[in-house]
Chain A
Amino acid sequence: MSHQPKPLSEVEHIKTQSRLLRGSLAESLEDPVTGGLATPDTSLIKFHGSYQQDDRDLREERRQQKLEPDYSFMLRTRLPGGVCTPAQWLAMDALAREHANHTLRITTRQAFQLHGIIKDDLRPTIARINEAMMDTLAACGDVNRNVLCNPNPVDSRVHETVYQWAVRLSEHLLPKTRAYYEIWLGKEKVAGGEDEPIYGPTYLPRKFKAAVAVPPLNDVDVFAQDLGFIAIIEGDALVGFNVSVGGGMGATHGDAATYPRLADVVGFISPEQTLAVAEEVVKIHRDFGDRTNRKHARLKYVLEERGVPWFTAELEKRLGFALQPARPFAFEHNGDRFGWTEGHDGQWHLTLHLDSGRVADRPGATHLTGLREIARIHTGDFRLTANQNLVIAGVTPEAREAIDARVTAHALDSFRSASPVRRNALACVALPTCGLAMAEAERYLPAFVGRMEDRLRAHGLQDANLLLRITGCPNGCARPYLAEVGLVGKAPGRYNLHLGGDARGQRLNRLYRENIDEDAILAALEPLFEGYARERQPGEGFGDFVVRAGHVPSPSAQARPS
């Protein structure tokens, strides 16, 4: 028994039998008896950009009512670099109101999410997203996900160049199956010739995440990605990228074989080598990733277990050329630049803060309506940030006043008034719709930040630029392991408390207290805040302080070159 190869995970069989992601999705969509899909199709629909979810607040009640869970679907766009036009914004806004739960959500991967779409509305919704020149293909699933790109670099001349690389990466790594177009857009079946030259018929062992970063900003958290391209700029030109591989956040409670990991910088490449490098890194994941255990299937485990030298050698062998030595670079922080910034071309960009990326109309804060009104007059573009915020980009000096007026009228101006901790904070969706959540995140964030603000204020730390991230489970959608204070959900009302990230995305935090409730979290933070207020050095962040003061072990082994 011990020498038998371990069996493939169930999803591998589903992929194998799916005929390039078709499965029985078409039949599932037509089944009137359930608002859900056949079980194998719930895995396949992810590749098409959707998760089947249900309102977990109602699950038990409906079970007693002899009703199935209140199934609905989350739909995620593929939107490389998070850039969309005002027309595209208006299309998403209309879908949010007509087919979803009247909200838009900006994700930590610079994509839109719609929530609460019923099965019968999936096709019309996806069709209209495609009519607006966007799609949802590969927004989820075991493929390359939405490619991140810094949306508002310090040197605005670079954006167009690096953004185009993000788009090309995304296009190059798209699945080639026609299934998406047949199932959702009613396109004819084309006979023969269909294959997946990069992925093969079983795609990747697990998801794959890629990002393009532009120092000194690391808002995309490039070291949390399977594949990163760190732009090296000389003068005002992109000369190439440092390549980083093997980052990833997800872990499983109680399973020591799973852990978050920072990516390794393996070398420098010229821009024209970008797609080849990306393709070969994906193929190494395809060929060497663990297909028997989905909790251990990300590329980072290949890196960790086989080592960086092995990986680099394998990559260079496949590429047929050697990587150049990595070039120097430096990141200052991984947050957004809030408020107005001026670009080199005299255009202006306004970065707004949104709580957990949720765009909704609430009493006194009509964000959905406000952004709809702005989209109607805006002539530039919108950029969704990897920190769940929004940049209104490419505003002429004359148009600023009209934008500002609408921002104020609809209470979109919290980037001015909110405390630093609130502006920086991230939270994943979690309950009630996410099937993985063990605890609250998005719904809990505002209240928890409030209590934290009280404690910070008590120590005169109200202006501390603290980075807090909350997730409802250990899978890490809001990249909690890079936060200065990270809460990772364990059970309703209970979290693991992680401390000691560096707010530059270059140091993982450490587990500080396990499975504790809000009072215990605040009690654990209290003496640290007190010490931080008393002993911090000029410019020292909270995460750096707790490491220096020895409250969490010094993570020397985990530090990445900078």
Chain B
Amino acid sequence: MSASPAAQAPPFINALLGEDKSALLLKLVEGLDTSALHWLSGYTAGLAGRAPQATVIPVTPAPVAAPAVPLTIIYGTQTGNSRLLAERLKHQVESAGLAARLFRASDYPVRALAKETLLCVVISTQGDGDPPDDARGFCEFILGKRAPRMEGLRYAVLGLGDSSYPRFCEVGRLLDARFAELGASRLLERADCDVDFEPVATGWLDQAFTLAREVLTPRAAETATVVPLREPHAAPAFTKEAPYTAEVLLNQRITARGALKDVRHLELSLAGSGLEYAPGDALGVWPHNPPELVASFLSELRLDGEAPVTREGRTLPLVRWLSDALEITRLNRPFLERHARLSGSSALREVLEPGRAEAFRALLAGHQVIDVLRAHKATWDATELVQALRRLTPRLYSIASSSKRVGEEAHLTVAVVDYTAFDLRHFGAASYHLATRAAGTDAVRVFIEPNERFRLPEDGDKDVLMIGPGTGVAPFRAFVQERAETGAKGRNWLFFGEQHFRTQFLYQTEWQEALKKQTLHRLSLAFSRDRAQKVYVQHRLRESGRDVYEWLEGGAHLYVCGDAQRMAPDVHEALVDVVSTHGGTSREDAHAWLESLREQRRYLRDVY
């Protein structure tokens, strides 16, 4: 992730500033780091004299021009030796009255690397050249293709290892070379320590300290202010109709072996797209239909996939219509009526009669198009079929990331719909499409679907209650990231539920980290199938009713995301119970009170 803005000026900048000014702007911002860019944004906003009602956040210390930064020390360790040495260096630096920051590699926010100017890494090598467990993510990031350029960085690496292994100090060696490759310059040559690490390490630490001291001259920090800008300044270049082709950076299953569901965490690149989103927004995804399903259609209807078919002046082979352009999973009434006529199925006709709403709903809920084709045989010709099917529509996924944390990326949490019914494997069009995209090679067509009805409170001091079982947790990952990045003072309380703790605790390690850093203050969990008695989030709400009520009374904003059929009503019932029990009111009054929260936009739902 580069922190610099798009190298080529997006068209809207030209449109706004004219060619000359936009060229100057590009020249001005080229090579500036994120902090400087933030400062610049605040400066220009100040000039405009109409800064929005945003709070002014002092940034200390602010590296405006000269780098008056601390030494960052990162260690990765299995047995504690690297930590020992890293702590010693920190102590040395601090004893000289200078600033140092020490991180275990697993605690270091890798995206901050681009901003580092002075860095020492002390890291061991395990077994056959592996990083220590606490540094796997760190090494993966730096050695991977997402590592940023680091021209402004001076660094030094101390490797620890055991020379009786063939790949002695391999990890230190790789990192040292990689930093150089990314444009950073060596403060000091790498040293490799053997099992008896003291002699080499001591010499290296002394040298590192001496060199770092020259760079770290203590000086009074200048203070700048950053005025966050709230509204995007121009209409996005990419829309639902003209989607952006986003590279898949990561497609990671986040349920363990033996889990009953396949849930994916996807990271998509928005680099250079100019697309912006706020927590709560959704990402629209244009799917392709599963090839297996398209093949089933063709064989079931005995049609030739290569046959050209024209609809609305557009001619494509049938197979392309079915895979790219038409809705072939979800059923709809006009198609069913047409199929009922073609098949002559009286059973199907009956379901479509007025007054059979219940049976019709059941048919829609329990069947895909292919099921109806197989159950009620009919002869379709290709053109007729292409005319009768609806156009493919995009699917919306709540974005699971804050761009303040992840930069020009959007993350999604996708439950893969994949089940067998009527002896046939069924897929969800978009989830299947997303789940089968390979990171690094495939892309997805996407756009931003803003959701103004699901926004964090503007006042960061307000508490936030988030109820998001299953993939309903997605926007709350974005919320927690956003509140952490903006330094919101209010507390965050998440209710999460799934079937099994061991295998389906979505984003478990991230929540643990957030709790540790106090960017998440409370986490209530309900795993329904770990115990004989099923427990859901609404049970946890009632158990913690007193606190939930206190939070709400204290002005907390309440969010619910996920299943609309059962979860949302059950949660609402539980909330009514909580308010009436702990507020000492009737259920009617409790209901009315929750309604008033809704009107104040303090009880918001994103359910589907």
Interfacial chain A residues near B515, Cβ < 8 Å? 33
**For chain B residues 160-204, which have a beta carbon within 8 Å of chain A?**
162, 164-165, 194-196
Q: Are A64 and B252 in contact (CB under 8 A)?
A: yes
Question: Which of B341-349, B482-490, B506-514 lies at the interface with chain A?
Answer: B506-514
Q: Are B265 and A67 in contact (CB under 8 A)?
A: no
* Cβ-defined partner of B127 (8 Å) among A58, A60, A118, A491: A491
Bound complex: CA of A438 vs CA of B162, how far in Å? 13
- Does B321 count as interface, using CB distance less than 8 angstroms? no
Bound complex: CA of A70 vs CA of B502, how far in Å? 7
**For chain B residues 505-528, which have a beta carbon within 8 Å of chain A?**
505-512, 515, 523, 525
Q: A65-B256, A254-B195 are in contact. Are A514 and B164 (CB under 8 A)?
A: yes
Bound complex: CA of A515 vs CA of B501, how far in Å? 40
* Cβ-defined partner of B133 (8 Å) among A59, A120, A490, A491: A59
Digitize B402-430: 1 where CB-to-A-CB distance is under 8 Å, 0 elsewhere. Answer: 00000000000000000000000000000
- Does B257 count as interface, using CB distance less than 8 angstroms? yes
Q: Are B136 and A58 in contact (CB under 8 A)?
A: no
- Does A416 count as interface, using CB distance less than 8 angstroms? no
Q: A63-B137, A68-B508 are in contact. Are A491 and B501 (CB under 8 A)?
A: no
- Does B255 count as interface, using CB distance less than 8 angstroms? yes
Interfacial chain B residues near A492, Cβ < 8 Å? 127-128
**For chain A residues 481-526, which have a beta carbon within 8 Å of chain B?**
490-492, 514-515
Give the one of A32, A62, A67, A515 with max B CB within 10 A.
Answer: A67
- Does A189 count as interface, using CB distance less than 8 angstroms? no
CB distance from B608 to the nearest CB of A (A): 23
Q: Are B512 and A65 in contact (CB under 8 A)?
A: no
- Does B253 count as interface, using CB distance less than 8 angstroms? yes
- Categorize the interface residue count of chain B: 20 to 34
Name the residue of chain A whose CB is nearest to the CB of B265. Answer: A66
- Does A341 count as interface, using CB distance less than 8 angstroms? no
Name the residue of chain B whose CB is nearest to the CB of A67. Answer: B508
Digitize B241-275: 1 where CB-to-A-CB distance is under 8 Å, 0 elsewhere. Answer: 00000000000111111000000010000000000
Interfacial chain A residues near B510, Cβ < 8 Å? 66
CB distance from B584 to the nearest CB of A (A): 30
* Cβ-defined partner of B254 (8 Å) among A33, A65, A120, A514: A65
- Does A34 count as interface, using CB distance less than 8 angstroms? yes
- Does A344 count as interface, using CB distance less than 8 angstroms? no
Interfacial chain B residues near A254, Cβ < 8 Å? 162, 164, 194-196
Name the residue of chain B whose CB is nearest to the CB of A295. Answer: B79
Q: Are B162 and A35 in contact (CB under 8 A)?
A: no
Q: Are A58 and B257 in contact (CB under 8 A)?
A: yes
Name the residue of chain B whose CB is nearest to the CB of A255. Answer: B195
Q: Are A253 and B162 in contact (CB under 8 A)?
A: yes
Q: Are B195 and A67 in contact (CB under 8 A)?
A: no
Q: Are A34 and B512 in contact (CB under 8 A)?
A: yes
CB distance from B233 to the nearest CB of A (A): 35
Interfacial chain A residues near B196, Cβ < 8 Å? 254
Interfacial chain B residues near A35, Cβ < 8 Å? 501-502
Bound complex: CA of A514 vs CA of B166, how far in Å? 12
Q: Are B525 and A32 in contact (CB under 8 A)?
A: yes
Interfacial chain B residues near A33, Cβ < 8 Å? 508, 511-512, 515, 523, 525
Q: Are B254 and A438 in contact (CB under 8 A)?
A: no
Give the one of A59, A66, A514 with max B CB within 10 A.
Answer: A66
CB distance from B471 to the nearest CB of A (A): 14
Name the residue of chain A whose CB is nearest to the CB of B503. Answer: A67
Interfacial chain A residues near B525, Cβ < 8 Å? 32-33
Q: Are A60 and B136 in contact (CB under 8 A)?
A: yes
Give the one of B501, B515, B530 with max A CB within 10 A.
Answer: B501
Bound complex: CA of A67 vs CA of B509, how far in Å? 5
**For chain A residues 114-173, which have a beta carbon within 8 Å of chain B?**
118, 120
CB distance from B53 to the nearest CB of A (A): 37
CB distance from B306 to the nearest CB of A (A): 41
**For chain A residues 93-113, which have a beta carbon within 8 Å of chain B?**
none
Q: A65-B253, A515-B164 are in contact. Are A491 and B509 (CB under 8 A)?
A: no
Name the residue of chain B whose CB is nearest to the CB of A36. Answer: B512
Q: Are B502 and A253 in contact (CB under 8 A)?
A: no
Q: Are A63 and B164 in contact (CB under 8 A)?
A: no
Digitize B228-248: 1 where CB-to-A-CB distance is under 8 Å, 0 elsewhere. Answer: 000000000000000000000
CB distance from B234 to the nearest CB of A (A): 35
CB distance from B215 to the nearest CB of A (A): 25
**For chain A residues 240-262, which have a beta carbon within 8 Å of chain B?**
253-255
Give the one of A34, A58, A65 with max B CB within 10 A.
Answer: A65
**For chain B residues 99-147, which have a beta carbon within 8 Å of chain A?**
127-128, 133, 136-137
Q: Are B164 and A490 in contact (CB under 8 A)?
A: yes
**For chain A residues 14-55, which have a beta carbon within 8 Å of chain B?**
32-35
Q: A35-B502, A254-B162, A491-B165 are in contact. Are A66 and B508 (CB under 8 A)?
A: yes
Name the residue of chain A whose CB is nearest to the CB of B129. Answer: A491
Interfacial chain B residues near A61, Cβ < 8 Å? 256-257
Name the residue of chain B whose CB is nearest to the CB of A120. Answer: B530
CB distance from A36 to the nearest CB of B (A): 10
Bound complex: CA of A490 vs CA of B525, how far in Å? 41
Q: Are A515 and B165 in contact (CB under 8 A)?
A: yes
Bound complex: CA of A438 vs CA of B130, how far in Å? 13
Bound complex: CA of A118 vs CA of B523, how far in Å? 20
Give the one of B164, B165, B265 with max A CB within 10 A.
Answer: B164
Return 27 A-B CB contacts under 8 Å, by A number. Answer: A32-B525, A33-B508, A33-B511, A33-B523, A35-B501, A35-B502, A58-B256, A63-B133, A64-B252, A65-B253, A65-B255, A65-B256, A66-B254, A66-B265, A66-B506, A66-B509, A67-B256, A67-B503, A118-B502, A253-B162, A254-B162, A254-B194, A254-B195, A490-B164, A491-B127, A491-B165, A514-B164
Residues of chain B at the chain A interface (Cβ within 8 Å)? 127-128, 133, 136-137, 162, 164-165, 194-196, 252-257, 265, 501-503, 505-512, 515, 523, 525, 530
- 9 more CB-based (< 8 A) A-B contacts, given A58-B257, A491-B165: A63-B137, A67-B256, A67-B509, A68-B512, A120-B530, A253-B195, A254-B162, A491-B128, A515-B164
